[in-house]
Chain A
Amino acid sequence: MGTSRQDYLDTLTSRFYGTVTITKSFLENEIYISTSKEKLIDICSYINSTFQASLSAMICNDERSLNKYFKIYYVFSLPEEDTFLIVNIPVSEQEPVFPSITPKIPAAHWYEREIKDMFGLEPVGHPDPYTLVLHGNFPDNTYPLRKDFDVQTRLPHLESKLPFKRVEGEGVFEIPVGPIHAGIIEPGHFRFSAVGDSILYLDAKLFYTHKGTEKIFETMPYTKALFLAERICGVCAASHATGYCQAIEKVAGVGIPPRAKFIRTILLELERLYNHIGDIGNICAGAAFHLGSAHGFRIREYLQLLNETITGNRYLRGMITIGGVRFDINNDLKKYIVTLLTDIKKDFKELTDIMFASSSLMDRLETTGRLPAETARGLGVVGVAARASGIGRDARVNHPYAAYREVDFDVPVFYNDGDVYARVRVRVDEVYQSIYIIEQCFDKMSEGSIKTSVKELPPYRQALSYVESPRGENIYWIMTAPDNRLFRYKVRSPSFCNWPAIPYTIPGNIVPDFPLINKSFELCYSCTDL
């Protein structure tokens, strides 16, 4: 493994001799490649096309207090290796522009717009350089993530100036949906251009509830920030908590006890289980297949009750902590979990058998909301949606964390379809894999402590952390500050990657199928809208 990682670096050095500086991080699988704005596009597209490395995240950081520059980090994940190549460029305040890589790597499009909104750095050459997060109802020249923006600032509310894309023609009309929706969900505005019930174009406007989460991380001691991290999103609490704890443990150079790793793995898989089964119920509700939705919710309820038994919280909150986990799982509880999961497996099998035998449901699911593999790859789609479109990416395999190196499991990938049905099938198959992983964890788990202590954080250290949440790969990037605080904590959720893909799956479908397609992606507003 070491040699082939070196091969990549040698190729890069020889190809771009003199224009790149390669720094190995204290972490083995993170390699920082510093370069200049001029060479950026070449290097990024080289890494992307020659190494087949996908853009996992783009992080901007206001390091003016340290080295007078903003820095932008482009995180690429190598396909065969557990290695991240982190290309970075400095951008000065006097010349707040950087070359847009979106024309070469479309996956960068939202990141660059986000950086423009939050840091005021302009991506030059971006094909769609509109505001993304702030909707134009923030005053001009307000860049919330710059260090000179005080977290207490109260801003006047201005009218949004963000235009919608329109389709013109005879019989074309617009259907505005949201931002307030009928269910108890978060706000998002969808603007359909349709002829009758056939959709021609969908423009989605999200980011209605910008909460300044990343900014608040910079004001907190690291111990307290765990609670914020865990509350980024309701249904990915275990993933976000694990991601944060792993980041802190990495910068602190602390390894956690093996038993804690296994317990974390169990919790993460329990989270996947209740999400996937609940999502399958929701997809049935989207197709008005009430039998399926009722039983999906019933099984999800068993799992959430189980969550409460294990952690005291239905959403698995409060269990994962820096340095390990808070509570152990004893033998009685273990037996209870294993028996319950066996029952659930049977119950779930019965449900999916009924679902897949129903021709009317299958008619709704098949061919609906197709996401072609090419589009998915271009936009950097992750998680269930990617695997349903033939992209076999899974952070648990590509970049193992917790105890995933020690357990055996398959990652289901569906190659030709990318429709709602494929996304359902991925979830169904993953449910069995999750149960299998949990059973293995219990078998392989040895007795021992469940927590190590973390005390001091070394300042100005950087690390990546990654978790495959039920929705896909979460990427976190941390940089510490003195006094056990965080200089920057970037959260890149799977929903941020997958939202832009939804409008591409819609044209050609009919308006009443949109809720079904949307549910099959099951994206989170809160994770996107930090």
Chain B
Amino acid sequence: MSLASNIILPMLQIVVIAGLAPLVKGFINKIEARLQCRRGPSIFQLYYNLVKLLQKDAVVSETASWIFRATPYVTFVSILIITLLVPVLSSHVPVNFAGDVILIIYLFALGRFFLVLSSLDTGSAFGGMGGSREMMVSAMAEPAMMLSIFTVSLAAGSTNLGNITSTMLNTSIILLNPALFLAFAALAIVIIAETGRIPIDNPYTHLELTMIHEGMILEFSGRYFALIEWASCMKLLLLLTILVNTFLPWGVAPGLTFSGLILSFAVYLVKIGFFAILIVILEMSFAKIRLFRIPNLLGTAFVLSLLAIISHYMVS
């Protein structure tokens, strides 16, 4: 058990998240293309991109400092650590002792902080613009994210995501609980904002003036860019994982049996696929909202999460 939980489970989590993340994004791109009557790139295209980019040398601006070079590693490593803090296939979390959901939120913030710094570092006009917009979005998304996760923590009596998942599995707290339902809705909006999808940001655009996340990372190339792209794929998958395993934990293996993990993996794929399709439908139905309307949308998420906490106390 200790071998399994100390060595195999961390490896498994990293392989699943890091390995599947490009596929999830490729899947989203493919479905999106099909809905636009295009053939679209292969769902494995992001792997090809990563392989290609990892073999390439990086071009770095002359004005850039060590921050620019460190950023890809900081971002990637912070995401890797989060991978070990999130229950993926089993409600056991590999590094249970290290930290809880607050650490996860701060690790996301750390990666973003370095990305914003590096966007200013090169002296490119688009970088600074993307960086300042990213900060505006995250300043509003983070409180909503915290409140909605705290709602679940209150309901489950723990801030450890593994404990939350197993509590949710074992008790009859389900999504019909108004507090959880509101928290779920708030977190869903936050995930759209955090991962830079339409209607907040447009990941496909070449128009620099409209970019948020893509504007920040414009100056990265080669292996640096590969790490950042990979990290952003993993971030999307991790946030979806948190969403499904916290609110809809059915199928997550309570222990570490082989058959349990296989079943859990299958259920996990279905759930992630379902939410990926939801993202596609959302992206196809909306234009990007005006930049100055983003606060309205994220304000909505914040209010929902606040209502979630209030209703938790009122209902229970």
Contact = CB atoms under 8 A, between A and B. Distances in A.
Interface of A: 174-177, 182-183, 196-197, 284-292, 294-295, 298, 358, 360-361, 363-364, 510-515
A175 B210 CA distance: 13
B202 A288 contact: yes
Contact of B37 (A182, A288, A298): A298
Contacts of A174: 125
A292 B284 CA distance: 9
B293 A363 contact: yes
B287 A511 contact: no
Given A175-B129, A176-B125, A197-B292, A294 B38 contact: yes
B199 A360 contact: yes
Contacts of B6: none
B198 interface: yes
Nearest to B291: A512
Interface of B: 32, 35-38, 125, 129, 132-133, 198-199, 202, 204-210, 283-293
Contacts of B36: 290-291, 294-295
Given A175-B125, A510-B291, A290 B283 contact: yes
Contacts of B35: 291
Nearest to B283: A290
A430 B209 CA distance: 30
Given A177-B208, A286-B207, A510 B289 contact: no
Contact of A515 (B209, B286, B290, B292): B209
B139 to A, nearest CB: 14
Given A182-B207, A515-B209, 6 more contacts: A177-B125, A197-B129, A285-B205, A288-B205, A290-B36, A290-B284
B208 A182 contact: yes
B206 A291 contact: no
B125 A288 contact: no
- Considering residues A197, A284, A298, A361, which has the most beta carbons from chain B within 10 angstroms of its beta carbon? A197
Contacts of A511: 129, 209, 291
Contacts of A295: 36-37
B207 A515 contact: yes
A175 B129 CA distance: 9
Contacts of B208: 177, 182
Looking at chain A's contact residues, the main secondary structure is helix
B277 to A, nearest CB: 16
A17 B284 CA distance: 67
B283 A513 contact: no
B37 A294 contact: yes
B287 A288 contact: yes
Nearest to A177: B209
Nearest to B133: A197
A285 B291 CA distance: 16
Contacts of A288: 198-199, 202, 204-205, 210, 287-288
A295 B37 CA distance: 8
A175 B215 CA distance: 13
Given A294-B37, A363-B290, A512 B210 contact: yes
Given A182-B206, A197-B291, A515-B210, A290 B125 contact: no
Contact of A291 (B209, B284, B292): B284
Given A197-B133, A288-B202, A290-B204, A364 B209 contact: no
Given A290-B32, A511-B129, A360 B287 contact: yes
Contacts of B283: 290
A164 B292 CA distance: 28
Contacts of B204: 288, 290
A363 B289 contact: yes
Contacts of A513: 290
B286 A358 contact: yes
Contacts of B132: 196
A523 to B, nearest CB: 16
A344 to B, nearest CB: 15
B292 A510 contact: yes
A408 B205 CA distance: 41
- Considering residues A286, A292, A512, A514, which has the most beta carbons from chain B within 10 angstroms of its beta carbon? A512
Contacts of B206: 182-183
Nearest to A514: B209
Contacts of A197: 129, 133, 291-292
A183 B210 CA distance: 14
Contacts of A182: 206-208
Contacts of A196: 132
A513 B209 CA distance: 8
A510 B38 CA distance: 32
A360 B204 CA distance: 18
Contacts of B288: 287-289, 360, 364
Contacts of B285: 291, 358
A510 B290 contact: yes
